[in-house]
Amino acid sequence: MPKINIEKMSSKSPRDSYAAIKNMLSDDPDLRNLDRSYQCQFDDASLSGRAKGQKFEATLTIAETGPQAKVQLEVQIPLMLTPFKGLIETTLTKKLEKALS
Instruction: Give yes or no for residue 66 having a pLDDT over 90.
Output: no
Instruction: Give yes or no for residue 37 having a pLDDT over 90.
Output: no
Radius of gyration of the chain (CA): 13
CA distance 88 to 43: 25
Confidence band for 8, pLDDT divided at 50, 70 and 90: very high
Question: Would you state the pLDDT for residue 76?
Answer: 94
Compute φ and ψ for 47, nearest 5 degrees.
55, 50
Instruction: Give yes or no for residue 31 having a pLDDT over 90.
Output: no
Give the right CATH number for 3-100 from 3.30.530.20, 3.40.50.300, 1.10.3720.10, 3.40.50.720. 3.30.530.20
Domain boundaries, the chain: 3-100
